[in-house]
Amino acid sequence: MTTTAPTTTHRLGMPGLGRLIATEFRLFTRDYGSLFFVVAFPTVLLLGIGLAVPGMRDPLTDAGPWTGLQALDLMTPTMICVAIATAGLSSFPTYLAGYRERGVLRRLSTTPMAPQGILIAQAGVNLFWLMIGSVAAVTVAVVLLDVPLPQDWGLLLLTLPLAIGSVFGIGLILGGVMRKASAAGGIGMLVYFPLLFFAGLWTPGPTMPETLQTISTWMPLGGASQAMTTAWFGVGDFPTEQFVSMGLWTVLTCTIAVKVFRWR
């Protein structure tokens, strides 16, 4: 199968892209399952951890630079990783594989709209909603759970594109080769949980054993979570290794996705 978009004529630009994005946005808002898990799940998970798990709101003792913080504080950057992973590994590849399954990608190749437009539209819609989900989780954490605001907003905003790129690249590979939406979603979930483990969803990153922290640095969401934690609490040096890790994952996965993506 060809790995590049089929074209019947040479296309300049993407006429109709705005309408396609608007259509994808409407379709996503009607998909209550995806909307819940991308937008609301990080907040629900954070509230569940903060209100139901004993000790999560107690100040840490003998924890080095983290002493005095709540254990829950260290979990908050991870909720952004949850939003990124849910959009990038579940919603995004499932929609793309579903469009292939129903022949949407093939039919787009016969219209003036370049098929790549569907990738832009889907990525844009998922990015919008994952940012809404991230902002909602952080707002609830700060207002209801007494989590401090990030100290270094510049570093946090610098981390986000690389974190998103490293995960969405994996999702693009899955969405690019799977012929059924169920297969893309299932394999995405197999990747989802290990990545969130390394991001510190079960054990906050700063409290992980040193060896596990080192391994996590070179995982897509592990490096992202560590960089966000540095930005949040201002502890440690600039996360150079984490940025290198996220950059390598972004370049590697996106390069592979371009090579293997199938439009039929």
pLDDT-based confidence at residue 250 (cuts at 50, 70, 90): very high
How many angstroms from the chain centroid is the CA of residue 117? 20
Q: What is the pLDDT of residue 116?
A: 78
pLDDT at 139 over 90: yes
Give me the residue spans of the domains in the chain.
Answer: 17-260
Find the mean pLDDT for residues 31-43: 94
Q: How far apart are CA 156 and CA 139, in angstroms?
A: 15
Alpha-carbon distances, residue 225 vs 23, 117, 156 (angstroms): 33, 31, 10
Q: What does the chain come to in residues? A: 264
Q: Which residues contact 230 (CB under 8 A, 6 or more apart)?
A: 152, 155, 236, 237, 238, 239, 242
Confidence of residue 19 (pLDDT cuts 50, 70, 90): confident
**Interacting residues of 13 by C-beta distance below 8 A, sequence separation 6+:** none
17, 119 in Cβ contact below 8 A? Answer: no
Dihedral, 222, 224, 230, 231 alpha carbons, nearest 10: -160
- Cβ neighbourhood burial of 219 (10 Å; 0-12, 13-18, 19+): buried
pLDDT tens digits, 77-123: 999 999 999 999 999 999 999 998 998 887 776 666 666 788 899 99
Percent of the chain with pLDDT over 70: 92
Q: Is the dihedral of CA 103, 251, 162, 85 positive or negative?
A: positive
Q: Where are the alpha helices (DSSP H) in the chain?
A: 17-30, 32-35, 41-52, 71-86, 92-101, 104-108, 116-145, 153-177, 181-199, 210-217, 220-233, 240-260
The pLDDT value recorded for residue 6 is: 46
User: By mean pLDDT, which of 40-44, 144-148, 191-195, 201-205 is the weakest?
Assistant: 201-205
Q: Tell me the three-class secondary structure of 180-200, residue by residue.
A: CHHHHHHHHHHHHHHHHHHHC
CB distance 226 to 204 below 8 Å:
no
